[in-house]
């Protein structure tokens, strides 16, 4: 009996979908995506989604509140956690070049129920991420409009503004990006490449210009003495590690670096979205590892450089929290650069929204093609070969959410969702190495199982540093997912139907 026809593949909640079957499904004409992306496109996507508000805002906030000049080391720590996960993603994406990222990887290795759980998780992660970033983009654009004397009616500035009810800019941004995604991946890649070039140029200007205003004494002490959080934390606002073990994370000191890493991790979210485009890549076996690892390396270097510059320009105790980079240049007597930073952030956030929306639609598409969601959504456009139905549906829903909802409190759900996906992918790599050692692997994660285990441990540690309230909300979303799976997904699963048909 071949590996592709193992009995366990069609039994119970942990039935697995073979890699061969996953690849065959991508060849069905009505459900096939167009292959148009190169390693360069993937790297641009990765850089485009990773570099967002994190580099312009989180850098100073974390330096002032958690780690001081050692914020650069916090970015390194967060980058290492992502690198461990990225090595696991690279093996899966090159071995199973199918849309769906961690969902598809879990289906091929751990089983249907875990795959559903991670797919459901990714739908929430990318949806919230898109909406949160769209609202952030709207704020930057309104600021730029105010600078030139243009003002929106208060009612259209969003619920975060006094008197505001609907964020028209965030709503329109998501709708426009939805149209771009429907028209094709290559168009999306070209637009992203232009915007990313502008964004990286702005970051480089900040780094190079800031070098001339660095004062060596601002780095002293590089690792400030450890202190307890002001006022302490209690209840659901406390990190989960404190609620479970009684350990209270500190600010500053060596442990403060890791506290900071759990915060700046948000700035790295997105490289895993690159894996969702595996099916639309011309040479996925070669180009997926290059795109994933290349984009992560570029962004880590840029983050560390920005952290060193901003903490060198102003002492960490004097940094502002809302716009630290821009205010650091103002303090140095150069407000022009503050405007450049706002422009770079506003332009750059468009690609973050675009690629997060891309990731969500591809996961939704893969789940519907497997029957776990209605198959209606897995039909591709006859001309553009894009999953236009889920793209339009999700785009409209997220546009409405971004327009009407103040969702800053839900941003941490994006963190926990991503880290959970990292854990599942690392487990999947180890499982697939044991169950399918015969699979051709263009890229192999080194030091298995040691590296995947380290990836799991690092991801769990960062998850434990997130508030208990975030864990509770995440658990509620997962419970809803279980209900949907048992009421619909399990009965309509194509894999399950094939198993039932084989019994008769």
To the nearest whole percent, how much of the chain has pLDDT over 90?
38
Q: Which of 358, 325, 362 is nearest to 341 (CA)?
A: 325
d(CA 192, CA 177): 11
Per-residue confidence (pLDDT) for residue 501, from 0 to 100: 64
DSSP classification of residue 16 = -
Report residue 230 as tokens.
């002001």
Structure-token match 């690159």, residue found: 274
Q: What is the DSSP string of 259-322?
A: HHHHHHGGGGTTGGGGGGGGGGBSSHHHHHHHHHHHHHHHHHHHHHHHHHHHHHHS-GGG--SS
Whether 32 contacts 366, CB under 8 Å = no
Per-residue confidence (pLDDT) for residue 320, from 0 to 100: 78
End-to-end Cα, the chain, rounded Å: 19
Span 40-502 CATH architecture: Up-down Bundle (1.20)
Whether 292 contacts 89, CB under 8 Å = yes
d(CA 126, CA 122): 6
3-state helix, strand, coil in the chain (%, to 5): 75, 0, 25
Q: What are phi and psi of 281, to 5 degrees?
A: -100, 135
pLDDT digits (tens, 9 = 90+) for 137-182: 887 788 778 777 888 887 887 776 777 789 999 999 999 999 999 9
Per-residue confidence (pLDDT) for residue 407, from 0 to 100: 59
d(CA 85, CA 270): 12
d(CA 398, CA 395): 5
Non-local (6+) Cβ contacts of 12 within 8 A are: 111
* Apex 108 CA angle, 481 and 88, nearest 5: 95
Tally of CB atoms within 10 A around 22: 22
Whether 287 contacts 369, CB under 8 Å = no
Those residues of the chain that have pLDDT short of 70 are 1-11, 53-54, 56-57, 160, 230-235, 322-323, 406-412, 499-504
Per-residue confidence (pLDDT) for residue 322, from 0 to 100: 63
Q: Which of 219, 225, 137 is nearest to 174 (CA)?
A: 137
Whether 403 contacts 179, CB under 8 Å = no
Whether 299 contacts 51, CB under 8 Å = yes
Per-residue confidence (pLDDT) for residue 1, from 0 to 100: 37
d(CA 153, CA 151): 7
Whole-number Cα distances in Å, 146 to 61, 88, 322, 341, 350? 24, 45, 17, 16, 19
pTM, two decimals, is: 0.84
Q: How many CA atoms lie within 13 A of 454 on its CB side?
A: 17
Over the Cα atoms of the chain, what is R_g?
23
Cβ neighbourhood burial of 500 (10 Å; 0-12, 13-18, 19+): exposed
Whether 172 contacts 400, CB under 8 Å = no
Domain residue ranges of the chain, discontinuous segments joined by +: 40-502
Per-residue confidence (pLDDT) for residue 61, from 0 to 100: 80
HEC sequence for 109-156: HCCHHHHHHHHHHHHHHHHHHHHHHHHHHHHHHHHHHHHCCCCCCHHH
Per-residue confidence (pLDDT) for residue 8, from 0 to 100: 45
């Amino acid at each position: 009996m071949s590996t592709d026809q193992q009995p366990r593949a069609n039994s119970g909640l942990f039935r697995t979908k073979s890699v061969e079957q996953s690849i065959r499904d991508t060849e069905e004409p009505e459900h096939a995506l167009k292959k148009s992306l190169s390693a360069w496109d993937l790297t641009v996507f990765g850089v485009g989604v990773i570099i967002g508000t994190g580099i312009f805002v989180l850098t100073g906030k974390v330096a002032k509140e958690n780690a001081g000049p050692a914020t650069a080391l916090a970015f390194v720590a967060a980058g290492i956690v992502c690198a461990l996960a990225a090595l696991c993603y690279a093996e899966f994406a090159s071995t199973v070049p199918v849309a769906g990222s961690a969902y598809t990887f879990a289906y091929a290795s751990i089983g249907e129920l875990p795959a559903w759980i991670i797919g459901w998780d990714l739908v929430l992660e990318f949806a919230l991420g898109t909406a949160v970033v769209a609202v952030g983009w709207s704020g930057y654009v309104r600021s730029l409009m105010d600078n030139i004397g243009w003002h929106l009616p208060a009612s259209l500035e969003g619920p975060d503004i006094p008197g505001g009810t609907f964020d028209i800019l965030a709503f329109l941004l998501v709708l426009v990006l939805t149209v771009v995604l429907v028209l094709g991946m290559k168009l999306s890649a070209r637009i992203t490449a232009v915007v990313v070039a502008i964004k990286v140029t702005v970051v480089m200007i900040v780094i190079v210009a800031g070098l001339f205003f660095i004062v060596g004494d601002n780095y002293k002490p590089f690792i400030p003495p450890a202190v307890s959080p002001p006022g302490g934390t209690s209840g659901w606002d406390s990190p989960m590690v404190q609620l479970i073990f009684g350990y209270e994370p500190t600010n500053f000191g060596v442990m403060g670096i890791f506290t900071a890493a759990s915060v700046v991790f948000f700035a790295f979210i997105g490289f895993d979205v690159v894996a969702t485009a595996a099916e639309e890549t011309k040479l996925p076996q070669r180009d997926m590892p290059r795109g994933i690892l290349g984009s992560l390396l570029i962004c880590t270097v840029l983050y560390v450089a920005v952290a060193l510059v901003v903490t060198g320009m102003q002492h960490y105790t004097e940094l502002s929290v809302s716009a630290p980079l821009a205010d650091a240049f103002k303090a140095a007597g150069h407000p022009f650069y503050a405007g450049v930073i706002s422009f770079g952030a506003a332009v750059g956030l468009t690609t973050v929204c675009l690629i997060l929306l891309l990731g969500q639609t591809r996961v939704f598409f893969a789940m519907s093609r497997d029957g776990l969601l209605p198959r209606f959504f897995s039909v591709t456009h006859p001309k553009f070969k894009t999953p236009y139905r889920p793209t339009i549906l999700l785009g409209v829903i997220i546009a409405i959410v971004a327009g009407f909802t103040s969702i800053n409190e839900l941003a941490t759900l994006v963190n926990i969702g991503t880290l959970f996906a990292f854990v599942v992918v690392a487990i999947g790599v180890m499982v697939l190495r044991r169950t399918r050692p015969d699979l051709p692997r263009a890229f192999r994660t080194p030091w298995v199982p040691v590296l995947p285990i380290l990836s799991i441990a690092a991801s769990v540690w960062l998850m434990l540093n997130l508030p208990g309230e975030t864990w509770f909300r995440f658990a509620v979303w997962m419970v809803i997912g279980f209900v949907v799976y048992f009421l619909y997904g399990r009965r309509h699963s194509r894999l399950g139907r094939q198993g039932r048909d084989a019994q008769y």
